[in-house]
Structure 1
Amino acid sequence: MSKITRDQITGMNFHYKHYPLEYFLDAMVRYECKNIELWGASPHFYVDELTLQDIKNIKREIDRRNLSVVCFTPEQCVYPINLAAKEDSIRERSIQYFIKSAEAAKELEAPLLLVTPGWGYENEDKKEAWKRTRDSLERLSAVSGELGLTLALEPLTRVESNIINDAKSLKAMLEEVNSPFLKGMIDTIPMALANEDFNDYFSILKDEIVHIHFIDGKPEGHLVWGDGVLPLQKYIDQLSQHGYQGSLTLEYTSYQYVQNPDEAIERTLDVLSGVLAD
């Protein structure tokens, strides 16, 4: 059985957004995180505002600290990005945004680009929104293949999306797109809200899982471990049993952590020290 290790714990800059990006990078060095997942949003890394030289300068700062970007996650769960948009102009703008993001991921030497399914109107046939997401992902998978990237497709909560919310719908989309450059990932919050666990995902998707957002919840929220009710030891045991060797990103989107993001990391690492292998 493969043990989950400290090196798999990956920092993310979302809850550092009220601090400069350099502060986040220095914190990751201080807390001995070798890998980071970069959230692409203003003021840290919004692709529509960055020149190629800007991206290269940020990559230089990351390299200077001996950090690696394991996944680039452009902001996409709020206006105006939606890969399933019924309006052609919105969907095309969203696709072009992800193409820019893929090019940025390439410059960052990030192997993964995170994508979410978007959402369709609640009063339309779900199949129509599903088709639009599939078509968008087909286009983006082709671009990712050309750039040597893999898209990591993340299920969302039912509040966020009416397209992909669980392991079965994720598997169905992967099968329909049928690209080696599109894989699945897990966020523990949508997983818990769908009454699933890691055994459900790995039994359905097997080696199609390439990335995980690993956070506590009640079960909603993206909380520090110990602030929620999710079964940490059970999750660690399941991941170990399935031999998961990828990253476990600490994605804290709750605003309660933005004033003192270091404390959130410190409390997390303290809790995780009791369940991780050396």
Structure 2
Amino acid sequence: MNHHYMFYDLDDFFANAQKLGYPCVELWTSPQHFFMDYRQNDPIERLSHLIDEYGIRIHGICPEQCNPKPHNMAAKDASIQERTLAYFTRAVDVAKSVGATQVLVTSGWAYYNEPVETARERSATMLKQVARYAGEQDINLAIEALRAPESRIANTVADLNLLLSMVDEPALKVCLDIGAMVSAGNTIQEYFDTFGPKMIHAHYVDTGERSLHLALGDGERDIATDILTFEQNGYQGVLSVECTDSATLTDPMAADARSMATYLSAYEKIEAARA
């Protein structure tokens, strides 16, 4: 994922992904990389050129959507709701145009001076509309939990499960965000036990005191054990390294190299144990 490349060109991100052997990427719609709002987006040809030049497919689109970004799934104001629907349906169209299979979404956020249940109802209503459109386009939505205080609507496995039941649309699936999972005190296995085949994506990171979204190997998690848990549950999705650690902003290429090296080393450890 290109979040930590915010001070580099998008070309650098694709070039480094190719160099390090990443087969696909998740595209965060940073305005400096690929601008998109509810009315317009940069030419799709820009992304198509990068896909062709580097042989790297775009697996999913991750639109900007956390407060104070203007597009809130749980927006109260009717005009913001209208813009939010236009924004996320546009993201679905962009995903389809570049051959991606999913769009990353969240619950949006509630105001602190209102019952969270009220905001959750608004979130479910908007998610239902976006998911219905996505399903018509053969695109999945992958919803991740948010950490407190980012949002109060869906922080835990139980929160996400409630929201999915309220939306009740087949195109709405689940993204396991390791950072949000650790913050909520949940586990990878709890996600699989609750959501099963609805688990189609993971923001796969290391965690530590400095950040809950570190490059692999920069934190304290047992990466081999995590990989085995995904494997033992028959996971078929992508593990997307969503590094948002500010310490990596000056050299994101090195961070991605550490992530890939740690990942491959963990697999060597797994295979050695099986021998």
Does TM, normalized by the shorter one, top 0.5?
A: yes
Deviates more, 1:247-256 or 1:225-234: 225-234
Q: Equivalent residue for 1:214? A: 204
Equivalent residue number for residue 45 of structure 1: 34
- The amino acid of 1:133's aligned partner reads S
1:232 is displaced (CA, Å) by 2.1
74-83 or 198-207, larger mean C-alpha shift:
74-83
Match for residue 93 of structure 1? 83
Instruction: Write out per-residue CA displacement over residues 139-181 of structure 1, whole angstroms, 9 at most, x where no aligned residue.
Output: 1011102211011111111121100111111112112211111
The answer on 1:29 being equivalent to 2:30 is no
Q: SS where residue 275 of structure 1 aligns?
A: helix
Give the conservation status (yes or no) of the 8 Å contact 2:4–2:245.
yes
Take 1:260 and 1:117, find their aligned partners in 2: how far apart are those partners?
32
Larger deviation: 152-161 or 215-224? 215-224
Unaligned runs of 5+ in 1: 1-11
Aligned pairs for 1:17-166 within 5 A: 17-48=6-37, 54-78=43-67, 79-166=69-156
| Aligned: 1:272 with 2:263 | yes
In structure 1, the partner of 2:171 is 181
The alpha carbon displacement at 1:241 in A equals 1.1
Letter in 2 for 1:225: L
Counterpart of 1:259 in structure 2 is 250
Query: What is the match of residue 240 of structure 1?
Result: 231
In the TM superposition, residue 190 of structure 1 has moved relative to its aligned partner by 0.7
Amino acid at match of 2:237: G
- Contact 2:39 / 2:87 at 8 angstroms: preserved in 1? no
Please tell me the root mean square deviation across aligned C-alpha atoms, in Å.
1.8
**How far is the alpha carbon of 1:193 from its aligned partner?**
1.1
Gaps of 5+ in 2: none
- Cα deviation for residue 37 of structure 1 reads 0.5
Give how far 1:51 is off. Answer: 6.1
Q: What is the deviation of 1:49?
A: 9.3
Give 1:225 shift. Answer: 2.0
SS state at 1:82 partner: coil
- Stretch deviating more after TM superposition (85-94 or 111-120): 85-94
d(CA) in 2 for partners of 1:267 and 1:86?
42
Whether the 8 Å CA contact 2:34–2:42 is kept in 1: the answer is no
How many pairs align? Answer: 267
What is the TM-score when the length of structure 1 is the normalising length? 0.91
**Mean Cα deviation higher: 42-51 or 31-40:** 42-51
Query: What is the SS of the residue equivalent to 1:229?
Result: coil
Q: Partners of 2:6 and 2:235 in 1: how far apart?
A: 29
Identity %: 32
- 2: CA distance between counterparts of 1:18 and 1:48? 21
Conservation of the 8 A alpha-carbon contact between 1:47 and 1:104: no
Whose RCO is larger (CA < 8 A, sep 6+)?
A: 1
Match of 1:198 among 159, 169, 188: 188
- Structure 2: which amino acid aligns with 1:231? D
TM-score normalised by L of structure 2: 0.92
Q: Tell me how far 1:56 sits from its aligned partner.
A: 2.2
| Cα deviation 1:225-250 (Å, max 9, x = unaligned) | 23222332331221121121210011
Distance (whole Å) between structure 2 residues aligned to residue 16 and residue 50 of structure 1: 25
Q: Which moved more, 1:226-235 or 1:206-215?
A: 226-235
Q: Do the aligned partners of 1:46 and 1:74 also contact (CA within 8 Å) in 2? A: no
